[in-house]
Amino acid sequence: MSLASLRSRSGLALTRTHWLVVGGVALGHGTASGAAEPRRRRTLGRLVPLALLFVTAGCGGHAVVSVHTFSYGATFRNLDGAWTIYTRCANGAGPGYVVRVIRSDGAVVTDDQHRTGGSNKPGNGGLGEFGWHGARRHGRTFDYDYAWTIDGRTCGSVGVDRARIVAEPRVVDGVGRMTIDVFLKDNHVSPAQPLVRVRYRYRVRPRVVRAAIDVTELCGDGRCGWKGRAFVKEPKLEASIDGGGYTQMVVLDANGEVARNAIEHTGAPCVWSGTDARTQTLQCDDDLRKTLRFEGPQVPALNVSMTTPDGLWESGRGLDGWALASRSRAEYARSDSALDGVRWGCKAHSTGSGVLRRWELGGGAKHADGTYAAASALFPAWEGGRGYGDCEPLSRAFGPRGETWSVLAAYWFGPRRLSSRPFRLSRLVSPRRARSVCRRGRRRCRPEPAPRRRVPAEGVAGER
């Protein structure tokens, strides 16, 4: 790196007589005017990060982003750690999503290999796995012979049909790149007729892994295959951990503040440290929600951002747009059956209801030190009850063939315990300050918090 370049980046007037060598990179230890010690310290403070970047990124140094390929996948490495993506089914995991993450300190944060249970089980699904509750109409109620969990981590007669590499894993201009299509099906279609294609387009940068995820419906109006029309319920992405020293999950809004609920428990923060997801989870409905953090007391947080190409998650686009589009689509049945032992109202009848379009945080067991053995966050278009055998009214026909819903995901490790300080009541939305807002087209009104700063609220069609 030349002196002129350092001058340009730092804005300092260094001379050739003031140099200190650190890691093979020359740093100025003074200025041309012979400024006092505080000025020299500020000089070094601004140049050291540049030197570290120089050492790791160029002029014979090791590349910041690298990729290692193997017979069934690829592992990208950046400054945060190692990120493994499979290109076919192997070791009990599926292709496309991030199967395994090893943090830069050597901790295995998530590993979806050889795990048992479905995709809703805490700890399963890695980062970015997609799935839904599928069914074929066979009478007026669900039939377990014609209803399934269909997801990208299950390989067999139901689940992953095949994967196709669209762009080989490689590093170009310092950025890791890879594109892969994953085709999902039930057992009532031929291999040439999958129900859904999920395309993952990865860009791995020094401090973040970005994935553009496109979910394309291939079964027009649910009329493909045989033995009944195909229906979809609770299409979702997820993010899971089964290590890393994390004790809680926190949702942040687009302002970087802790998200707050408005539909239920108005003003309560979206923070969860519970266990046993079968009996209790936390839903987060903040309209500005953007990032889910797995946090621990002495470790860098794992950040998972979920947005759309045009805005935030709850913007009527991406998977949230699928929920709104499905309001008018054919439902499996008008009322819930007792197939799974419970008959209830399923929270709402419309897939566009705000009470169904929420993120869900679920914890598994914890170790003796209070850290999670497993935990997951679900990012559904709409919730579908207690499982694939529940809530027939929320199971809707597929849309037209080729209909695509796009999500922008990002994964990175950030500061420790950003949200660990105690929550003060003054930080919550006061019911006295809340105002009831009924927007056109909504069947349900809810108290709406005072406008947030900096980020403009986006208009959202649909019920609340």
Give the pLDDT score at 451: 32
Is the per-residue pLDDT at 43 higher than 80? no
Q: Is the dihedral of CA 227, 232, 236, 242 positive or negative?
A: negative
The H or E element spanning position 309 is: none
Is the per-residue pLDDT at 308 higher than 80? yes
Q: Average per-residue pLDDT in the chain? A: 81
Q: Where are the beta strands (DSSP E) in 29-126?
A: 66-70, 73-78, 81-86, 98-103, 108-111
> Residue 382 corresponds to which tokens in the numbers above?
């709409």
What would the pLDDT profile of 381-422 be if each residue is shown by its tens digit? 999 888 777 898 999 999 999 999 999 999 999 987 655 443
Which ranges of 300-345 does DSSP label H, i.e. alpha helix? 318-325
Candidate from 35-49, 252-266, 324-338, 367-381 with smallest mean pLDDT: 35-49
Listed as own residue / partner, the contacts of 6-14 with beta carbons closer than 8 Å and 24 or more positions apart are 6/47, 6/50, 9/50, 10/43, 10/46, 10/47, 10/50, 11/46, 12/43, 12/46, 12/47, 14/43
Residue 112 or 33, more confident: 112
Is the per-residue pLDDT at 430 higher than 70? no
Average pLDDT over residues 249-277: 94
pLDDT band at 309 (very low <50, low <70, confident <90, very high): very high
Residue 461 or 109, more confident: 109
Q: Residues 124, 125, 129, CA angle at the centre, nearest 5°? A: 165
Domains of the chain by start residue, with CATH = 3-57 (no CATH), 68-425 (2.70.98)
Is the per-residue pLDDT at 463 higher than 80? no
Is the per-residue pLDDT at 9 higher than 90? no
Residue 292 burial (CB count, 10 A): 24
Average pLDDT over residues 1-19: 40
The residue among 358, 364, 212, 385 whose CA lies nearest residue 294 is 364
What would the pLDDT profile of 156-174 be if each residue is shown by its tens digit? 899 999 999 999 999 999 9
Q: Are 404 and 235 in contact (CB under 8 A)?
A: no
Average pLDDT over residues 61-81: 93
Q: Is the dihedral of CA 219, 223, 226, 228 positive or negative?
A: positive
Give the pLDDT score at 461: 32
Residue 400 burial (CB count, 10 A): 10
Cα within 13 Å of Cα(208), Cβ side: 9
Cα within 13 Å of Cα(38), Cβ side: 0
Give the pLDDT score at 342: 82
Residues 6+ apart with CB under 8 A from 404: 214, 215, 216, 217
Cα within 13 Å of Cα(361), Cβ side: 22
What would the pLDDT profile of 94-143 be if each residue is shown by its tens digit? 999 999 999 999 999 999 999 988 888 999 999 999 999 999 987 778 88
Give the pLDDT score at 400: 98
pLDDT band at 265 (very low <50, low <70, confident <90, very high): confident
Q: Residues 70, 73, 74, CA angle at the centre, nearest 5°? A: 80
> What does DSSP say about strands 208-217 and 271-272: parallel, antiparallel, or unpaired?
unpaired
DSSP label of 311? B
Is the per-residue pLDDT at 40 higher than 80? no
Give the pLDDT score at 22: 34
Is the per-residue pLDDT at 255 higher than 90? yes
Is the per-residue pLDDT at 340 higher than 80? no
pLDDT band at 26 (very low <50, low <70, confident <90, very high): very low
Q: Tell me, what amino acid is at 286?
A: D
Give the pLDDT score at 416: 75
Average pLDDT over residues 363-377: 97
pLDDT band at 73 (very low <50, low <70, confident <90, very high): very high
